Structure 1
Amino acid sequence: MDAGLAAVLGALAGAVATTGAAFAAGWSAREQAKFAARAEHKRQRREPREKAYRAFLSEAIALRELLRIVCSYDALPEAVRRSAMTADTFAQAEGIETRIKEQWLEVTLAGPESVQDAAADIESASSSLVGMAAMIIRLRWEEEEERAHYAHASDCFDRLCQAVRDFTKRAQIVLDDDGTTLAERPPLP
């Protein structure tokens, strides 16, 4: 091979390598920009989500604590049960349930879907629990009927407790996601 051909081939190889390096650098810069934009987007979404999740969860926990009495039918004397489950208790529970519904809308708009589903479970369980509390408070039953209504209310209470736990786990996962991972997290069971 003569020196001229070697020089041309060397220059061609250098040009190809330089072009390849430029393409690789451009692709790398574009991917880094996407990565940074994704992380910034997640950061900007985090604060409003946290605020919505916190308000919603606070109301659900308040309802849970207010109506915890429904789990204690056998442990409490009738006079204590009746004094705890009053019209005032029901009015408080209704107010909390209304705020849960309002906050549910905020959580739904904040997303994502996994948290929306858990929030819907809380909303449904709270509605059922308040409905059972209304029956217990407004109607006075014979002991066996009352026991059955308390048992059903206790089931609603347990559903609410489980929904609060699920929502909390899902909200923590969403709030901990800083956008720096490319892989999607598997959905919670």
Structure 2
Amino acid sequence: MDAGLAAVCGALVGASGAVGAAWATSRAQWKGVRLAAKAEHLRQRRESRTLNYRALISVATDLIDRINRQPLVPGWTLLRITDEYADESYELVKILRMTLVDVLLAGPKEVSESAQKLMDGAHLTVSSVAALNGLRFLHLQEGVVTEEEVAPCFAELRRGKSEMATALAKFSVLARDALDNDGTS
């Protein structure tokens, strides 16, 4: 009977070892699959962020370039603020707003907040352009616009452009950092 008991115990130990090895193998495979799925998710998220960040930087740069095409000094340069200039600036801000939505969804929080500051500067800029265009129209219709009325609008335009440039530089750095993050930290 001792030999029979030894055989049964040996079989149990062997079966337990086989079950344990199978469990360890399946657990390792499961972790590998999970790791591969996470890596694929991070790759897809990085690609999406790259496209969104690139689009925002491109539109913001176009808007800044558009604003820079007009001199920002008070005086009769007001006549250079045309309907076309105001419309083009407004259209670029609309495109910027649409791109901002994608960046806000893509995150992360720091990048989204920086993009929102960029948008705030763009709103200030385009509202200043609209005010200057309105003053230009008033000047052409009634000829009563003074430099005291125009100067604050140009000051706001310069401030908005400066805020946009600063926010764009910060956004670019934060976006690069977010894209460099491989998800391990």
Greater displacement, 164-173 / 38-47 = 38-47
Unaligned stretches of 5+ residues in structure 1: 1-21, 184-189
Contact 1:55 1:103 survives alignment (8 Å): yes
Preserved contact between residue 59 and residue 99 of structure 1 (Cα < 8 Å): yes
Question: What is the match of residue 169 of structure 1?
Answer: 173
What is the CA deviation profile of residues 40-69 of structure 1, one whole-angstrom value per residue up to 9, with x for unaligned ones? 322111111111111122111111111125
Question: Once superposed, which parts of structure 1, at least 4 consecutive aligned residues long, lie more than 4 Å away?
Answer: 24-37
TM-score if structure 1 supplies the norm length?
A: 0.71
Superposition RMSD in Å: 3.0
Relative to total residues, which structure has the larger helix share, 1 or 2?
A: 2
Partner of 1:65: 65
Q: Which of 132, 137, 140 pairs up with 2:133?
A: 137
Query: Structure 2: any 5+ residue segments left out of the alignment?
Result: 1-20, 137-144
Deviations 1:89-127 (A, max 9, x none): 000011111111111111111111111111111111111
Change (3 A) 1:166 1:25: farther
Which amino acid is 1:164 matched to? L
CA contact (8 A) 2:60 2:96 kept: yes
1:155 is the counterpart of 2:159: yes
Q: Secondary structure at the match of 2:114?
A: helix
State the one-letter code of the partner of 2:119: E
* Residues 69, 84 of structure 1: 8 Å contact kept: no
CA gap of 1:111–1:71, structure 2 versus 1, over 3 A, is farther
Q: 8 Å contact 2:124–2:156 — kept in the other structure? A: no
Q: Deviations over 1:10-35 (max 9, x none)?
A: xxxxxxxxxxxx9x999988877665
Structure with more contact order per residue of length (Cα contacts < 8 Å, sep ≥ 6) = 1
User: Structure 2 residue aligned with 1:146, among 140, 144, 150?
Assistant: 150
Alignment partner of 1:96 out of 92, 96, 120: 92
The structure number with the bigger radius of gyration is 2
Q: Distance in 1 between matches of 2:33 and 2:170?
A: 34
Bigger drift between 118-127 and 138-147 goes to 138-147
Once the two structures are overlaid, the 10-residue window that deviates more, 90-99 or 110-119, is: 110-119
